[in-house]
Amino acid sequence: MALFTRGSVERVKEAVDMVELVGARTDLRRVGTRHVGLCPFHDERTPSFSVNAEHALYHCFGCGESGDSIKFVRETEGLEFAEAVEHLAERYGVELEREEEGPRAEESRRRRDRLMRLLDRTATFYARFLWDAGEARAARAHLAERGLSEETLRTFRVGYAPSAWNRVLAAGQRDGYAPGEMVAAGVAQPGRDGGYFDRFRARITFPLSDARGRVLGFGARAVRDSQKPKYLNSSENELYRKGRHLFGIDHARAPAAKAGRVVVVEGYTDVLALHGAGIRESVAIMGTALTGEQLTELGRAATTVLMALDADASGQEAMLRAARAATERGMELRVVALPAGSDPAELVVAQGAAAFERLLSAAVSVPEFETARVLDTADLATTHGRDRALERVRPLVAATPERSIVRDELVRRVTDRLEVPSSYVTGSGGGGRAATAPARPSARERPTPKAPSAEGAARVAATPPRPSAPAPAERAERAFLAMCLGQPTPGRELLWRAGEGYLSPRFLPVREHLLAHPDDPLAELPTDDEQAALVTEVAMLAEVEPSTELDVRLSFVQLELRRAERELRAAARERDYERQRALWAERERLREQFDELMGALG
């Protein structure tokens, strides 16, 4: 992918409303010139995340995450640099200019962009036809009977494909698209005897968009019972891959980030009904098995996944595989028990959003859910039936953390229902056969999953481990630099004096940057990511913690005392007695100065 010109990247940064961008992920409130809220990068209960709207920068004083709008999108959306720039450019209406790219790469990009424009136009046509055409009256009635509001349907661009054989084909050709391009986009297909015709006819259409809202294909539902098949999707092509797709992810990402969960359902109308009921963090997998690519996409939205599916369709092994894959990605997968024969859309319409929320709150882990299902469906009246149930629940119990309440409760439940000793269930103590699946290590024993590098697979939005607190010396240096910004008159003079020996190598470049940009250190950040993060942290700390001239002078004396102590230790090691005597005198002078300043503070 070709790089964008520096000028166009800067225009994107200037166009971004940082408060609006970050506010879609976490609630912010204004405090003076800043906006603060809970950090979207680590779990916390007291807000330590700060946004500087003027310079479009963010910093968390809890976990140390820091950066600009592009980095924020890369971290939260799991995108590469160029993808993040494109995402922001689309969102804020900035035209991007590219550096030179190879002819083949340019041709491929232009073709992809052209096909996506065709799909977007087709989605607009279908949506307009649904509301304007008399032919679509039955489709409108069907959607209304499902309890779906016009507002929700318009939000998701739900439409109707006319029954004519070539309406989309003819419109596309008028717009300059060749039939082959429309086949490649999945909106037309070749006939058996030559020629082409529309793929979707007399069907309700659901645009299948990626997380950025770009239409990649369509799902379509028959209106008449005689139409076969009932559901028809775009065939897989260069844009659309069913195993990657989550219907509604473009509308669910921000609500899921705020809620800390994402609800997974089966079909389009389930998502539409939940969205209309206020449960907007909902997506559909449109299939029976959750793929690894879909899990990765879910992980970018939230770390807790609530599966509200027809569990019988998935199967025990598929559910366990999905749960293990989720754990490896730092996610938690829980199962929502739906009443037999009901889907989320029907439940919300019949019982309301509050009833469905109660089901979500009662969601359990996969082993708990599968164990209950095995016990409820087993033939417990016969020894053979109980033996079969025992064989099926052993791997489920083994899949839970050892020495956990969940495992203890499962073992108790199984032993009670099957009337067997606990050793039969756990495979321990030689009383029963070994469990058919090895127990996973407990959460305490299990290593923290490593996130792939930025150059590898897209980064999963899992909660990162909280870093260790900085050393006291580093905290003192950071505080001193922040005070120098807060008190510019004495601060500039003290910055000049606080060179090598006063500050650690990590903070010396920050000092140089502050000296070079005394009035606005955030206006032109260093190109080095770590230095840029430190400058941002220091500048935002200066806003958060106001200081006085006395504070900054006291902080500088503390740095001088530390320097004198270090030099004294070095002189002692080298047995430089003359140097030691001079440093003893300097240390006493500094201690007196420190006491004097402390007295003034009191």
The reported pLDDT for the residue numbered 455 is 36
Q: Residue 471 burial by CB count (10 A; 0-12/13-18/19+): exposed, middle or buried?
A: exposed
The reported pLDDT for the residue numbered 269 is 94
Band the pLDDT of 552: cuts 50, 70, 90.
Answer: confident
The reported pLDDT for the residue numbered 315 is 53
Nearest to 279, CA basis, from 347, 205, 341, 209: 347
Radius of gyration of the chain from its Cα atoms, rounded to whole angstroms: 31
The reported pLDDT for the residue numbered 286 is 83
Rounded mean pLDDT of 160-167?
95
The strand pair at 304-307 and 332-335 is best described as parallel
pLDDT at 433 over 60: no
Contact 301, 330 (CB under 8 A): no
What are the pLDDT digits (tens) for 466-489? 344 456 677 888 889 999 988 888
Q: Which residue has the tokens 């910093």?
A: 59
Rounded mean pLDDT of 290-315?
81
Contact 18, 53 (CB under 8 A): yes
Q: Cα dihedral angle (297, 298, 303, 304), rounded to 10 degrees? A: -170
Say which residue, 504 or 361, is predicted with more confidence.
Answer: 361
Q: What angle do CA 253, 255, 257 make, to 5 degrees?
A: 70
Band the pLDDT of 76: cuts 50, 70, 90.
Answer: confident
Say which residue, 465 or 545, is predicted with more confidence.
Answer: 545
What percentage of the chain carries pLDDT values higher than 90?
Answer: 34
Rounded mean pLDDT of 406-415?
89
- The CA–CA distances, whole Å, from 208 to 120, 172, 250 equal 10, 19, 10
The reported pLDDT for the residue numbered 2 is 53
Phi and psi of 261, rounded to 5°?
-150, 160
Q: Residue 492 burial by CB count (10 A; 0-12/13-18/19+): exposed, middle or buried?
A: middle
Say which residue, 323 or 178, is predicted with more confidence.
Answer: 178
The reported pLDDT for the residue numbered 252 is 93
Band the pLDDT of 456: cuts 50, 70, 90.
Answer: very low
What are the pLDDT digits (tens) for 366-403? 888 888 888 888 888 888 989 999 999 898 888 888 88
What are the pLDDT digits (tens) for 89-106? 988 989 888 877 678 877
The reported pLDDT for the residue numbered 463 is 35
> What gap in Å lies between CA 74 and CA 455, rounded to an integer?
12
> What gap in Å lies between CA 286 and CA 271, rounded to an integer?
11
The reported pLDDT for the residue numbered 107 is 85
Rounded mean pLDDT of 85-91?
90
Query: DSSP string covering 307-326, please?
Result: E-S-HHHH-HHHHHHHHHHH
- The CA–CA distances, whole Å, from 561 to 31, 436, 475 equal 35, 65, 15
| C-alpha 600 chain-centroid distance | 50
The reported pLDDT for the residue numbered 602 is 60
pLDDT at 436 over 70: no
**Starting from the edge strand earliest in sequence, which strands make up the sheet with 203-209, in order?**
159-161, 203-209, 215-222, 231-233
Identity of the highest mean pLDDT range in 64-78, 228-242, 278-292: 228-242
> What gap in Å lies between CA 446 and CA 444, rounded to an integer?
6
Query: DSSP string covering 109-146, please?
Result: HHHHHHHHHHHHHHHHHHHHHHHH-GGGHHHHHHHHHT
The reported pLDDT for the residue numbered 202 is 95
The reported pLDDT for the residue numbered 363 is 92
- The CA–CA distances, whole Å, from 385 to 72, 397, 410, 505 equal 55, 18, 19, 70
* Structure token pair of residue 303: 């770390």
222 - beta bridge partners? Answer: 203
The reported pLDDT for the residue numbered 323 is 80
Residue 244 gets which letter from DSSP?
G
Band the pLDDT of 443: cuts 50, 70, 90.
Answer: very low
Rounded mean pLDDT of 267-292?
90
Nearest to 303, CA basis, from 83, 42, 63: 42
> What gap in Å lies between CA 517 and CA 441, rounded to an integer?
52
The reported pLDDT for the residue numbered 164 is 94
Contact 425, 433 (CB under 8 A): no
Q: Which residues contact 443 (CB under 8 A, 6 or more apart)?
A: 401, 404
The reported pLDDT for the residue numbered 116 is 94
pLDDT at 520 over 90: no
Q: Which residues contact 383 (CB under 8 A, 6 or more apart)?
A: none
Band the pLDDT of 329: cuts 50, 70, 90.
Answer: confident
Rounded mean pLDDT of 331-353?
88
User: Other CB atoms closer than 10 Å to residue 74's CB: what's the count?
Assistant: 20
3-state helix, strand and coil shares in percent for the chain, rounded to the nearest 5: 50, 10, 35
Mean pLDDT for the chain overall: 84
- pTM of the full structure: 0.69
Query: DSSP string covering 147-164, please?
Result: T--HHHHHHTT-EEE-SS
Band the pLDDT of 55: cuts 50, 70, 90.
Answer: confident
Nearest to 316, CA basis, from 276, 279, 352, 289: 289
Band the pLDDT of 458: cuts 50, 70, 90.
Answer: very low
* Neighbouring C-alpha atoms within 13 Å toward the C-beta of 491: 22
Of 230-234, 311-315, 453-457, the poorest mean pLDDT is in 453-457
Band the pLDDT of 457: cuts 50, 70, 90.
Answer: very low
Rounded mean pLDDT of 497-510?
88
> What gap in Å lies between CA 344 and CA 227, rounded to an integer?
25
- The CA–CA distances, whole Å, from 532 to 57, 125, 488, 525, 559 equal 11, 47, 20, 5, 23
DSSP, collapsed to helix, strand or coil, labels residue 542 as helix
pLDDT at 167 over 90: yes
Phi and psi of 493, rounded to 5°?
-60, -45
What are the pLDDT digits (tens) for 198-214? 999 999 999 999 988 89
pLDDT at 249 over 90: yes
